[in-house]
Amino acid sequence: MISASSDNRAAGSVAATGQAGAGAPSPVGDSAESTEDRFLKLLVAQMRNQDPLNPLDNAQVTSQLAQISTVRGLEELNASVSRMASANGTVSPLSAIGLLGRSVLLPGDAFEWGGTASVAPASDPALPEQVAATPAVRLGVELSAAARAVQIDIVDAAGRVVHSRQISGVEAGVATFDWDGTTSDGSAAAAGPYRMRVVALDYGGAQVAAEALVSARVTGVVQAPGGARIEFADRPAQPASAARAIL
């Protein structure tokens, strides 16, 4: 016969198992299903060996079963939420197909400026040549917090700053601006590669995390293991989620 003290120790073991499953972190690879299996085996062993004169309290058994059921339910809920979060963070090719032919802003600081091109009017070649300006290039910056001032420098291939501007009172998130190729002295910038430098300060004078954004035209959408990827003519393909704005 199992003594009352042995029964109490067994009951305590079952209760500890339920409490550990409900509150303590499980070891790696230890799921609620395996915890529930061990719990039920221990409970059955306890009931088989209980003292007939001091049987296990029904209320205690019910409480312990409720604890293990709660643990199992929480694990299933966490798994469902994780699947939903993963699905929401994945862009399908079908939903990204609207990006084809559109320009998007992507993280990066390098871009190409096309400069200007001289063209003669098609109606009368004898007329003087006319200069057709290249459309302004759309650039952007992504801020982690609101900024009192954002300093933007356009730097040429030689490292010279050809254009600077400052934007005041910028909210957190993505902000865009256009550069028409005009340098700081009013002349036209030569065609070629350029880079953008961004420095942002908050209202207390501390630096704000800022990421430069450059525009690129989407030429294709493909399926990838992590979701849709968008292709470009002049840069490597990137996940569709990398697009910070659609222009």
Q: What pLDDT, in 10s, does the model give residues 90-99?
A: 566 667 788 8
What pLDDT sits at residue 88?
47
Residues in the chain: 247
Asked if the model's pLDDT at residue 185 lies above 60, the reply is yes
Q: What is the pTM of this model?
A: 0.58
Residue spans in the chain of domains classed CATH 2.60.40.4070: 93-246
Predicted local distance difference test score (pLDDT) of residue 181 = 92
Closest alpha carbon to 210 in 141, 139, 111, 138: 141
Q: At residue 176, what are phi and psi to the nearest 5 degrees?
A: -120, 160
pLDDT at 167: 93
pLDDT top residue among 28 and 51: 51
CATH classification for the domain delimited by 93-246, as one of 3.30.230.10, 3.40.50.300, 1.20.1740.10, 2.60.40.4070: 2.60.40.4070
